[in-house]
């Protein structure tokens, strides 16, 4: 009986170790499949040349959309996305009317930008081809213009540079 108890305790330890390993693998796999942004020290002036649209706008609507692009701007396969309708308040670059539409992936795990209705953003967007929707990626320069009731220092610094580059 004592011997049987020792085997059960040994089995329990093995099971616990297996559970810890399984949980560790799940966490590692989630990290491997999640969005990984690389910090960039690119100036706003240099970044301005890399983007197809740069503007300040307030999000008025979010809706799910099926991607029609053959690949995302970063070369990955398209996924269903979120179509973001934005009232343009100030524009430095990009052809658009008083309302711009950008597409982003559906969540931050797939590098989608977490836009919120009513919030105002300094948007930096790309377009894979002429005639296609502008896209915004979590790792791009897009930032909320206000955090709480205070202006975002990063977005406001970029906004000042942009006003110097392209006088309104």
Interacting residues of 43 by C-beta distance below 8 A, sequence separation 6+? 161
Give the three-state DSSP class for 9. helix
Q: How far apart are CA 151 and CA 146, in angstroms?
A: 4
Three-state SS at 44: helix
Ordered by start, the domain boundaries in the chain are: 1-33, 44-165
Q: Give the separation between CA 67 and CA 77, rounded to whole angstroms.
A: 10
Distance of CA 28 to the CA centre of its chain: 21
pTM: 0.70
What's the CATH number for 44-165? 2.40.50.120
Full pLDDT tens readout for the chain, 168 residues: 555 544 555 556 655 655 444 444 333 334 445 788 887 788 999 999 999 999 999 999 999 876 555 555 555 555 578 999 999 999 999 989 999 999 998 888 889 999 999 999 999 999 877 778 899 999 999 999 887 666 778 898 999 999 998 765
The whole-angstrom separation of Cα 58 and Cα 118 is 6
């Amino acid at each position: 009986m004592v011997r049987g108890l020792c085997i059960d305790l040994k089995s329990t330890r093995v099971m616990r170790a297996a559970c810890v390993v399984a949980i560790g693998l799940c966490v590692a796999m989630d990290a491997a499949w999640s969005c990984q942004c690389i910090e960039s020290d690119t100036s706003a002036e240099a970044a301005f040349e890399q983007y197809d649209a740069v503007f300040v706008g307030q999000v008025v609507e979010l809706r799910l959309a099926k991607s029609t692009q053959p690949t995302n701007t970063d070369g990955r396969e398209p996924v269903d996305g979120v179509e973001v309708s934005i009232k343009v308040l100030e524009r430095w670059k990009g052809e658009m009317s008083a309302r711009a539409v950008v597409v982003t992936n559906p969540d931050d795990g797939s590098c989608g930008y977490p836009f919120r209705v009513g919030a105002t953003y300094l948007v930096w967007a790309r377009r894979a081809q002429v005639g296609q929707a502008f896209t915004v990626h979590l790792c791009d320069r897009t930032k909320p213009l206000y955090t709480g009731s205070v202006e975002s220092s990063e977005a406001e610094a970029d906004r000042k540079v942009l006003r110097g580059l392209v006088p309104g």
